[in-house]
Amino acid sequence: MIYKTNKTNEYDASDLELKSSQEEEKPLSNKVDEIFRPPRGTGEIKNYFGEKFLSKDNLIKLDEKLSKYCENIIGLHDNWDDQGSKAITIEIWNYTTALLRKILYNLWYNGFNISIPLVLPNTDGSFDIYWEPGEFELLINIPSNRMELVHMYGEKSGSPEYELEARINYELVQGVIVEWIKKIL
């Protein structure tokens, strides 16, 4: 038997979006027990999240992977590659991971089982978010200067008509990437 939850216990994708890079310090997996707690009442409750890939396990895996990346990246000083590289700042890390979380939360919420990508520093202080799961390849470069445009390049394996290449404002990246991935998968 399935009961509908009342409006106060429903969640939608906007509930999962980070409002700013400052909220990066509070990952969703820390709130996951509250989200997955069924509403008060009797009977079997349909766990809407359980039917999607926005699962407690995926959220915890994402937090663990980003923490591991962070340990190895944050604090890299100027010239960390002995060839004149720029330091990696926590501000750009938070900016990058906030975007990645928004993209993954949206895709997982909508039923797309997409893997967690690599997050790599560049010598100019920027970050690359890189997916290569087999079906497609996608590279998003987040510049160290928030006023610069984000560069994206993606292609679906064996389908050049689905190539994506753009330089756009940070605020538009999530929507473009999510729609592109939905189209190709």
Q: Is the pLDDT of residue 47 over 60?
A: no
Q: Are 34 and 56 in contact (CB under 8 A)?
A: no
Distance of alpha carbon 65 from alpha carbon 148, whole angstroms: 27
Give mean pLDDT, residues 31-39: 51
Asked if the model's pLDDT at residue 105 lies above 80, the reply is yes
Q: Which residue type is seen at 95?
A: Y
- For 29-54, give one letter per residue: b (16+ CB within 10 A) or e: beebeebeeeeeeeeebeeebeebbb
Domain ranges in the chain are 7-184
Q: What's the pLDDT score for residue 44?
A: 44
> What average pLDDT score do residues 142-168 get?
95
pLDDT, tens only, 19-32:
344 444 455 656 65
| Calpha distance 49→155 (Å, rounded) | 29
Q: Are 119 and 69 within 8 A, CB to CB?
A: yes
